[in-house]
Protein backbone atom coordinates (compact mmCIF):
# COMPACT_ATOMS: atom_id res chain seq x y z
CA UNK A 1 0.00 0.00 0.00
CA UNK A 2 1.31 3.43 -1.00
CA UNK A 3 0.07 6.97 -1.51
CA UNK A 4 0.14 8.77 -4.87
CA UNK A 5 -0.50 12.41 -5.75
CA UNK A 6 -0.41 14.48 -8.92
CA UNK A 7 -1.14 18.08 -9.88
CA UNK A 8 -1.26 19.74 -13.31
CA UNK A 9 -1.18 23.46 -14.22
CA UNK A 10 -0.07 24.70 -10.82
CA UNK A 11 2.23 27.64 -10.10
CA UNK A 12 3.68 25.71 -7.16
CA UNK A 13 3.46 22.02 -8.12
CA UNK A 14 6.22 20.80 -5.79
CA UNK A 15 4.73 22.55 -2.75
CA UNK A 16 1.24 21.26 -3.57
CA UNK A 17 2.61 17.75 -3.93
CA UNK A 18 4.52 18.06 -0.65
CA UNK A 19 1.32 18.92 1.20
CA UNK A 20 -0.55 16.16 -0.61
CA UNK A 21 2.05 13.56 0.33
CA UNK A 22 2.13 14.86 3.88
CA UNK A 23 -1.60 14.25 4.25
CA UNK A 24 -1.11 10.77 2.73
CA UNK A 25 1.76 9.90 5.09
CA UNK A 26 -0.33 7.16 6.72
CA UNK A 27 -0.23 5.20 3.44
CA UNK A 28 3.55 4.77 3.47
CA UNK A 29 6.43 5.80 5.69
CA UNK A 30 9.51 4.16 4.13
CA UNK A 31 10.32 6.73 1.44
CA UNK A 32 8.93 9.69 -0.47
CA UNK A 33 9.64 11.44 -3.76
CA UNK A 34 8.48 14.17 -6.13
CA UNK A 35 9.05 14.59 -9.87
CA UNK A 36 8.30 18.00 -11.43
CA UNK A 37 7.73 18.83 -15.11
CA UNK A 38 9.04 22.19 -16.35
CA UNK A 39 9.16 23.63 -19.86
CA UNK A 40 12.72 24.47 -20.90
CA UNK A 41 12.69 27.50 -23.21
CA UNK A 42 16.24 26.87 -24.47
CA UNK A 43 15.66 23.23 -25.43
CA UNK A 44 11.99 23.96 -26.26
CA UNK A 45 10.67 20.87 -24.50
CA UNK A 46 9.50 19.68 -21.09
CA UNK A 47 12.18 18.37 -18.75
CA UNK A 48 11.79 16.52 -15.46
CA UNK A 49 13.43 17.35 -12.13
CA UNK A 50 13.17 15.16 -9.07
CA UNK A 51 13.99 14.76 -5.42
CA UNK A 52 13.40 11.58 -3.41
CA UNK A 53 14.84 9.66 -0.51
CA UNK A 54 14.13 7.28 2.38
CA UNK A 55 12.13 8.45 5.38
CA UNK A 56 9.03 10.49 6.12
CA UNK A 57 7.93 13.28 3.80
CA UNK A 58 9.08 15.99 6.19
CA UNK A 59 12.50 14.37 6.52
CA UNK A 60 13.05 13.86 2.80
CA UNK A 61 12.15 17.50 2.07
CA UNK A 62 13.76 18.95 5.18
CA UNK A 63 15.86 21.45 3.22
CA UNK A 64 13.56 24.23 2.07
CA UNK A 65 15.93 25.16 -0.76
CA UNK A 66 14.82 21.96 -2.51
CA UNK A 67 11.60 23.69 -3.53
CA UNK A 68 13.53 26.51 -5.17
CA UNK A 69 14.86 24.03 -7.73
CA UNK A 70 11.63 22.06 -8.18
CA UNK A 71 9.86 24.68 -10.28
CA UNK A 72 7.46 23.86 -13.10
CA UNK A 73 3.79 23.45 -13.95
CA UNK A 74 3.06 19.82 -13.02
CA UNK A 75 4.26 17.24 -10.50
CA UNK A 76 3.62 13.73 -9.20
CA UNK A 77 4.59 12.30 -5.81
CA UNK A 78 4.73 8.98 -4.00
CA UNK A 79 4.81 7.69 -0.42
CA UNK A 80 6.28 4.18 -0.31
CA UNK A 81 5.26 1.20 1.76
CA UNK A 82 6.98 -1.78 0.19
CA UNK A 83 4.96 -4.83 -0.87
CA UNK A 84 7.24 -5.98 -3.69
CA UNK A 85 10.89 -5.07 -3.98
CA UNK A 86 13.41 -4.42 -1.23
CA UNK A 87 12.49 -1.72 1.27
CA UNK A 88 16.19 -0.97 1.84
CA UNK A 89 17.11 -0.22 -1.77
CA UNK A 90 17.00 3.42 -2.84
CA UNK A 91 16.49 2.19 -6.41
CA UNK A 92 12.93 1.25 -5.45
CA UNK A 93 11.97 4.74 -4.30
CA UNK A 94 9.30 6.23 -6.53
CA UNK A 95 8.37 8.07 -8.67
CA UNK A 96 10.45 6.31 -11.32
CA UNK A 97 11.69 8.69 -14.01
CA UNK A 98 13.21 7.79 -17.37
CA UNK A 99 13.91 9.04 -20.87
CA UNK A 100 12.79 6.95 -23.86
CA UNK A 101 12.11 7.33 -27.59
CA UNK A 102 8.95 9.41 -27.07
CA UNK A 103 10.49 11.78 -24.51
CA UNK A 104 10.31 11.72 -20.71
CA UNK A 105 8.18 9.52 -18.47
CA UNK A 106 7.68 9.36 -14.69
CA UNK A 107 5.37 7.03 -12.77
CA UNK A 108 4.02 6.71 -9.20
CA UNK A 109 2.10 3.50 -8.50
CA UNK A 110 -0.04 2.10 -5.68
CA UNK A 111 -0.90 -1.59 -5.91
CA UNK A 112 0.51 -4.98 -6.83
CA UNK A 113 0.89 -6.65 -10.23
CA UNK A 114 0.10 -10.36 -9.99
CA UNK A 115 1.88 -11.32 -13.22
CA UNK A 116 5.00 -9.22 -12.60
CA UNK A 117 7.36 -12.20 -12.35
CA UNK A 118 6.43 -13.66 -15.73
CA UNK A 119 6.53 -10.22 -17.40
CA UNK A 120 9.87 -9.43 -15.82
CA UNK A 121 11.33 -12.74 -16.93
CA UNK A 122 10.06 -12.19 -20.48
CA UNK A 123 11.44 -8.63 -20.68
CA UNK A 124 14.80 -9.69 -19.24
CA UNK A 125 15.14 -12.41 -21.90
CA UNK A 126 14.49 -9.71 -24.52
CA UNK A 127 17.41 -7.67 -23.22
CA UNK A 128 15.63 -5.17 -20.97
CA UNK A 129 17.79 -3.89 -18.09
CA UNK A 130 16.00 -3.33 -14.76
CA UNK A 131 17.33 -0.87 -12.18
CA UNK A 132 14.86 -1.74 -9.40
CA UNK A 133 13.22 -4.86 -7.97
CA UNK A 134 9.78 -3.22 -7.74
CA UNK A 135 7.00 -4.47 -10.02
CA UNK A 136 6.22 -0.84 -10.99
CA UNK A 137 9.25 -0.62 -13.29
CA UNK A 138 7.66 -3.13 -15.63
CA UNK A 139 5.00 -0.63 -16.76
CA UNK A 140 7.31 2.05 -18.27
CA UNK A 141 9.35 -0.69 -19.98
CA UNK A 142 6.20 -2.09 -21.58
CA UNK A 143 5.15 1.41 -22.62
CA UNK A 144 8.57 2.10 -24.16
CA UNK A 145 8.34 -1.07 -26.27
CA UNK A 146 4.86 -0.23 -27.56
CA UNK A 147 4.45 0.43 -31.28
CA UNK A 148 2.05 3.29 -30.56
CA UNK A 149 3.32 6.85 -31.01
CA UNK A 150 1.33 8.75 -28.36
CA UNK A 151 2.20 8.23 -24.66
CA UNK A 152 -1.48 7.79 -23.75
CA UNK A 153 -1.83 4.84 -26.12
CA UNK A 154 1.56 3.47 -25.07
CA UNK A 155 0.33 3.40 -21.46
CA UNK A 156 -2.88 1.74 -22.64
CA UNK A 157 -0.81 -0.92 -24.41
CA UNK A 158 1.25 -1.52 -21.28
CA UNK A 159 -1.75 -1.78 -18.96
CA UNK A 160 -3.44 -4.27 -21.29
CA UNK A 161 -0.56 -6.64 -20.49
CA UNK A 162 -0.44 -6.34 -16.70
CA UNK A 163 -2.74 -7.98 -14.19
CA UNK A 164 -3.52 -7.07 -10.60
CA UNK A 165 -4.17 -3.87 -8.69
CA UNK A 166 -2.91 -0.45 -9.70
CA UNK A 167 -3.83 3.17 -9.13
CA UNK A 168 -1.18 5.40 -10.67
CA UNK A 169 -0.28 8.89 -11.82
CA UNK A 170 2.12 9.38 -14.73
CA UNK A 171 3.93 12.37 -16.20
CA UNK A 172 4.50 11.91 -19.93
CA UNK A 173 6.24 14.94 -21.45
CA UNK A 174 3.68 17.77 -21.08
CA UNK A 175 0.81 15.51 -20.03
CA UNK A 176 -0.39 13.93 -16.78
CA UNK A 177 -2.11 10.54 -16.95
CA UNK A 178 -4.09 8.87 -14.16
CA UNK A 179 -5.04 5.19 -14.41
CA UNK A 180 -6.89 2.61 -12.33
CA UNK A 181 -7.18 -1.14 -12.82
CA UNK A 182 -10.47 -2.58 -14.18
CA UNK A 183 -11.31 -4.14 -10.81
CA UNK A 184 -10.94 -0.83 -8.97
CA UNK A 185 -9.03 -2.44 -6.10
CA UNK A 186 -7.27 0.71 -4.87
CA UNK A 187 -8.85 4.18 -4.63
CA UNK A 188 -7.96 7.13 -6.85
CA UNK A 189 -9.77 10.47 -6.90
CA UNK A 190 -9.89 13.48 -9.22
CA UNK A 191 -10.10 17.04 -7.94
CA UNK A 192 -9.76 20.61 -9.11
CA UNK A 193 -8.25 23.76 -7.68
CA UNK A 194 -8.69 27.40 -8.69
CA UNK A 195 -5.73 29.75 -8.21
CA UNK A 196 -7.13 32.65 -6.13
CA UNK A 197 -4.76 35.18 -7.68
CA UNK A 198 -5.09 34.25 -11.37
CA UNK A 199 -8.31 32.24 -11.49
CA UNK A 200 -6.53 29.49 -13.42
CA UNK A 201 -7.70 25.90 -13.13
CA UNK A 202 -5.48 23.08 -11.88
CA UNK A 203 -6.38 19.40 -11.80
CA UNK A 204 -5.36 17.19 -8.88
CA UNK A 205 -5.26 13.40 -8.52
CA UNK A 206 -4.72 11.59 -5.22
CA UNK A 207 -5.18 8.26 -3.45
CA UNK A 208 -7.54 9.89 -0.94
CA UNK A 209 -9.56 13.09 -0.80
CA UNK A 210 -7.85 14.20 2.43
CA UNK A 211 -5.00 15.30 0.14
CA UNK A 212 -7.40 17.73 -1.55
CA UNK A 213 -8.53 19.43 1.65
CA UNK A 214 -5.08 20.59 2.66
CA UNK A 215 -4.49 22.48 -0.61
CA UNK A 216 -8.10 23.74 -0.86
CA UNK A 217 -8.90 21.56 -3.86
CA UNK A 218 -12.42 20.38 -4.64
CA UNK A 219 -13.28 16.72 -5.07
CA UNK A 220 -14.87 16.03 -8.47
CA UNK A 221 -15.20 12.25 -8.71
CA UNK A 222 -13.36 8.96 -8.47
CA UNK A 223 -11.24 7.77 -11.37
CA UNK A 224 -13.40 4.93 -12.66
CA UNK A 225 -12.18 1.31 -12.66
CA UNK A 226 -10.40 0.67 -15.96
CA UNK A 227 -10.20 4.38 -16.78
CA UNK A 228 -7.08 6.04 -18.19
CA UNK A 229 -7.52 9.80 -17.79
CA UNK A 230 -5.48 12.31 -19.79
CA UNK A 231 -4.87 15.81 -18.40
CA UNK A 232 -3.02 18.31 -20.58
CA UNK A 233 -3.22 22.01 -21.44
CA UNK A 234 -6.12 21.35 -23.80
CA UNK A 235 -8.03 19.71 -20.94
CA UNK A 236 -7.33 22.80 -18.83
CA UNK A 237 -8.65 25.11 -21.56
CA UNK A 238 -11.78 23.00 -22.14
CA UNK A 239 -12.14 22.05 -18.46
CA UNK A 240 -12.68 18.50 -19.64
CA UNK A 241 -10.02 15.76 -19.37
CA UNK A 242 -10.13 12.98 -21.97
CA UNK A 243 -10.60 9.34 -20.94
CA UNK A 244 -10.11 5.98 -22.60
CA UNK A 245 -11.02 2.68 -20.98
CA UNK A 246 -9.44 -0.73 -20.60
CA UNK A 247 -11.56 -3.80 -21.44
CA UNK A 248 -14.14 -4.28 -18.66
CA UNK A 249 -14.20 -7.20 -16.26
CA UNK A 250 -17.22 -9.09 -14.96
CA UNK A 251 -17.02 -7.78 -11.42
CA UNK A 252 -15.46 -5.06 -9.29
CA UNK A 253 -13.16 -5.93 -6.38
CA UNK A 254 -12.64 -2.91 -4.14
CA UNK A 255 -10.33 -3.53 -1.18
CA UNK A 256 -12.43 -3.66 2.00
CA UNK A 257 -9.33 -3.07 4.10
CA UNK A 258 -9.20 0.50 2.80
CA UNK A 259 -12.32 1.13 4.89
CA UNK A 260 -11.24 -1.05 7.79
CA UNK A 261 -7.68 0.18 8.20
CA UNK A 262 -5.79 1.97 5.43
CA UNK A 263 -7.69 5.19 4.70
CA UNK A 264 -7.96 8.30 6.81
CA UNK A 265 -11.42 8.69 8.37
CA UNK A 266 -11.90 12.18 6.89
CA UNK A 267 -11.40 10.83 3.35
CA UNK A 268 -13.96 9.79 0.75
CA UNK A 269 -12.97 6.63 -1.13
CA UNK A 270 -14.98 4.43 -3.49
CA UNK A 271 -17.56 7.28 -3.40
CA UNK A 272 -18.23 6.71 0.31
CA UNK A 273 -17.20 8.48 3.49
CA UNK A 274 -14.66 6.41 5.43
CA UNK A 275 -16.01 7.84 8.70
CA UNK A 276 -19.59 6.77 7.93
CA UNK A 277 -18.56 3.30 6.80
CA UNK A 278 -16.57 2.73 9.99
CA UNK A 279 -19.45 3.95 12.14
CA UNK A 280 -21.75 1.51 10.35
CA UNK A 281 -19.20 -1.26 10.93
CA UNK A 282 -19.41 -0.45 14.64
CA UNK A 283 -23.20 -0.58 14.54
CA UNK A 284 -23.15 -3.94 12.76
CA UNK A 285 -20.64 -5.27 15.27
CA UNK A 286 -22.98 -4.28 18.10
CA UNK A 287 -25.90 -6.10 16.44
CA UNK A 288 -23.92 -9.25 15.64
CA UNK A 289 -21.84 -9.51 18.82
CA UNK A 290 -23.97 -8.13 21.63
CA UNK A 291 -22.23 -8.02 25.01
CA UNK A 292 -24.53 -8.63 27.98
CA UNK A 293 -23.58 -6.83 31.17
CA UNK A 294 -23.42 -8.67 34.44
CA UNK A 295 -25.52 -7.64 37.44
CA UNK A 296 -24.01 -4.66 39.20
CA UNK A 297 -21.85 -3.69 36.21
CA UNK A 298 -22.06 0.06 35.65
CA UNK A 299 -20.18 0.51 32.42
CA UNK A 300 -18.84 -1.28 29.38
CA UNK A 301 -15.30 -0.47 28.21
CA UNK A 302 -14.64 -0.47 24.47
CA UNK A 303 -11.01 -0.71 23.37
CA UNK A 304 -10.17 0.29 19.79
CA UNK A 305 -7.43 -1.87 18.27
CA UNK A 306 -5.85 -0.49 16.15
CA UNK A 307 -6.53 3.25 16.24
CA UNK A 308 -8.33 3.16 12.87
CA UNK A 309 -11.22 1.52 14.76
CA UNK A 310 -11.70 4.66 16.86
CA UNK A 311 -14.36 5.70 14.36
CA UNK A 312 -16.25 2.41 14.75
CA UNK A 313 -16.51 2.96 18.51
CA UNK A 314 -19.19 5.72 18.37
CA UNK A 315 -21.20 3.56 15.97
CA UNK A 316 -21.04 0.62 18.34
CA UNK A 317 -22.11 2.76 21.27
CA UNK A 318 -25.00 4.41 19.41
CA UNK A 319 -26.37 1.02 18.33
CA UNK A 320 -26.63 -0.37 21.86
CA UNK A 321 -30.21 -0.29 23.13
CA UNK A 322 -29.24 -0.20 26.79
CA UNK A 323 -28.85 2.24 29.65
CA UNK A 324 -25.41 0.82 30.40
CA UNK A 325 -22.73 3.47 30.08
CA UNK A 326 -20.12 2.76 27.40
CA UNK A 327 -16.60 4.08 27.97
CA UNK A 328 -13.87 4.35 25.35
CA UNK A 329 -10.37 3.19 26.28
CA UNK A 330 -7.32 3.86 24.13
CA UNK A 331 -5.42 0.80 22.93
CA UNK A 332 -2.07 2.51 23.56
CA UNK A 333 -0.76 4.30 26.64
CA UNK A 334 1.62 6.40 24.60
CA UNK A 335 0.73 7.34 21.06
CA UNK A 336 -0.09 10.09 18.65
CA UNK A 337 -2.15 9.17 15.63
CA UNK A 338 -0.57 10.96 12.69
CA UNK A 339 -3.70 11.82 10.78
CA UNK A 340 -3.03 15.55 10.89
CA UNK A 341 -1.46 17.02 7.80
CA UNK A 342 -0.35 20.50 8.78
CA UNK A 343 -3.49 22.52 8.11
CA UNK A 344 -3.33 25.32 5.59
CA UNK A 345 -6.93 26.40 6.02
CA UNK A 346 -9.73 26.27 8.52
CA UNK A 347 -11.28 23.57 6.36
CA UNK A 348 -8.16 21.43 6.61
CA UNK A 349 -7.58 22.13 10.29
CA UNK A 350 -11.06 20.98 11.32
CA UNK A 351 -10.95 17.93 9.07
CA UNK A 352 -7.51 16.67 10.03
CA UNK A 353 -6.83 17.10 13.74
CA UNK A 354 -4.74 14.46 15.46
CA UNK A 355 -5.22 12.84 18.82
CA UNK A 356 -2.16 13.28 21.02
CA UNK A 357 -1.79 11.10 24.12
CA UNK A 358 1.08 11.37 26.60
CA UNK A 359 2.21 8.73 29.07
CA UNK A 360 0.16 8.99 32.25
CA UNK A 361 3.37 8.86 34.28
CA UNK A 362 4.63 12.09 32.75
CA UNK A 363 5.02 14.92 35.18
CA UNK A 364 2.30 17.51 34.99
CA UNK A 365 0.02 15.45 32.78
CA UNK A 366 -3.61 16.44 33.20
CA UNK A 367 -6.79 14.81 31.98
CA UNK A 368 -8.50 16.67 29.21
CA UNK A 369 -10.87 15.97 26.37
CA UNK A 370 -9.09 15.46 23.06
CA UNK A 371 -11.34 16.17 20.12
CA UNK A 372 -11.07 14.99 16.54
CA UNK A 373 -13.33 15.31 13.52
CA UNK A 374 -14.50 11.70 13.82
CA UNK A 375 -14.80 11.02 17.56
CA UNK A 376 -14.41 12.49 21.03
CA UNK A 377 -12.32 10.54 23.49
CA UNK A 378 -11.16 10.97 27.05
CA UNK A 379 -7.43 10.65 27.67
CA UNK A 380 -4.60 11.96 29.82
CA UNK A 381 -2.88 14.37 27.51
CA UNK A 382 -0.80 17.45 27.46
CA UNK A 383 -1.53 20.32 25.08
CA UNK A 384 -1.51 19.19 21.43
CA UNK A 385 0.16 21.35 18.78
CA UNK A 386 -2.11 24.20 17.72
CA UNK A 387 -3.94 23.86 14.44
CA UNK A 388 -3.83 27.13 12.58
CA UNK A 389 -4.27 28.30 9.04
CA UNK A 390 -0.84 29.92 8.94
CA UNK A 391 1.44 26.88 9.13
CA UNK A 392 4.28 26.97 6.60
CA UNK A 393 6.16 24.13 4.93
CA UNK A 394 9.09 24.84 7.25
CA UNK A 395 6.91 24.63 10.39
CA UNK A 396 5.36 21.35 9.28
CA UNK A 397 8.76 19.81 8.52
CA UNK A 398 10.33 21.01 11.77
CA UNK A 399 7.37 19.72 13.78
CA UNK A 400 7.55 16.26 12.20
CA UNK A 401 11.34 16.04 12.44
CA UNK A 402 11.19 16.98 16.11
CA UNK A 403 8.57 14.28 16.70
CA UNK A 404 10.66 11.70 14.84
CA UNK A 405 13.75 12.63 16.86
CA UNK A 406 11.85 12.01 20.08
CA UNK A 407 10.86 8.58 18.85
CA UNK A 408 14.50 7.64 18.37
CA UNK A 409 15.46 8.78 21.88
CA UNK A 410 14.39 6.09 24.39
CA UNK A 411 15.49 8.21 27.35
CA UNK A 412 12.89 10.86 26.50
CA UNK A 413 9.98 8.67 25.50
CA UNK A 414 8.11 9.04 28.82
CA UNK A 415 7.86 12.81 28.65
CA UNK A 416 8.22 13.75 24.99
CA UNK A 417 5.51 14.11 22.38
CA UNK A 418 5.74 11.15 20.06
CA UNK A 419 4.27 10.20 16.72
CA UNK A 420 3.44 6.72 15.53
CA UNK A 421 2.44 6.54 11.84
CA UNK A 422 -0.25 4.04 11.04
CA UNK A 423 1.20 0.71 9.95
CA UNK A 424 0.29 -0.60 6.53
CA UNK A 425 0.44 -3.84 4.63
Domains contained in the chain, CATH given: 3-255 (3.60.20.10), 274-412 (no CATH)
Report CA-CA distances (Å) from 162 to 138, 256, 273.
9, 22, 30
Strand partners, 193: 202
**Dihedral sign from CA coordinates of 196, 197, 198, 204:** negative
Query: Is pLDDT at 397 greater than 60 in this prediction?
Result: no
Q: Which residues pair with 231 in a beta bridge?
A: 176
Describe the chain by its helix, strand, coil percentages, rounded to 5. Answer: 30, 30, 40
**Predicted local distance difference test score (pLDDT) of residue 329:** 65
Closest CA to 280 of 255, 302, 309: 309
Of these residues, 2, 255, 380, 425, which one is catalytic? 2
pTM of the predicted model as reported, rounded to 2 decimal places: 0.76
**pLDDT, tens digit, for every residue of 209-244?**
999 999 999 999 999 999 999 999 999 999 999 999
**243-252 tens-digit pLDDT:** 999 999 999 9
For the chain, give the number of residues.
425
**Helix pair 393-407, 13-23: axis angle to 10 deg:** 40
Phi, psi of 355 (to 5 degrees): -105, 120
**Per-residue pLDDT at 326:** 62
The stretches of 162-220 forming alpha helices (DSSP H) are 210-213
- Annotated active-site residue 387? The verdict is no
Give the per-residue pLDDT at 355.
Answer: 30
| 95-129 burial code (b ≥16 CB/10 A, e <16) | bbbeeeebebbbbbbbbbbeebeebbeebeeeebe
38 DSSP 8-state letter: E
Q: Looking at the predicted structure, is the pLDDT value of residue 294 above 60? A: yes
Work out the pLDDT band at 403, boundaries 50, 70, 90. Answer: very low
- pLDDT band with cut points at 50, 70 and 90 for residue 122: very high
Q: Please give the average per-residue pLDDT across 90-116, as a whole number.
A: 93
Q: What is the mean pLDDT of residues 49-58?
A: 95
pLDDT higher than threshold 90 for residue 412: no
Judge whether residue 18 has pLDDT over 80.
Answer: yes
Based on DSSP, count helices (H) and strands (E) in the chain, helices before strands.
13, 21
d(CA 369, CA 124): 58
Quick count: other Cβ atoms within 10 Å of Cβ 405?
12
pLDDT tens digits for 128-179?
Answer: 999 888 899 999 999 999 999 999 999 999 999 999 999 999 999 999 999 9
Choose the weakest-confidence range: 94-103, 180-189, 314-323. 314-323
d(CA 145, CA 149): 11
Contact by Cβ (8 Å): 211, 17: no
* Whole-number Å distance between alpha carbons of 360 and 352: 25
| Average pLDDT of the chain to the nearest whole number | 78
Amino acid sequence: MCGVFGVFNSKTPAEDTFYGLYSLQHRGQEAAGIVVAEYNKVKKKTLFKQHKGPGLVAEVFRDESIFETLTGYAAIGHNRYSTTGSSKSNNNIQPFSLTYRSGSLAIAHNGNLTNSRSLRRELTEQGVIFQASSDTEIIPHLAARSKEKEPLHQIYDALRQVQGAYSMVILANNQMIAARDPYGVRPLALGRKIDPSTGELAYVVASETCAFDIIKAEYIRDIKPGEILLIDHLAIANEKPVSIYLPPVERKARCIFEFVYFARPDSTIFENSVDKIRRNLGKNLSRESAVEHEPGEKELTVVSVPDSSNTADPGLRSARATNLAVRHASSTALSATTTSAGPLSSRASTAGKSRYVRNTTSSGASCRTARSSWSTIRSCAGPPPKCSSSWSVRQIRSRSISISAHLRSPTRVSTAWTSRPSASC
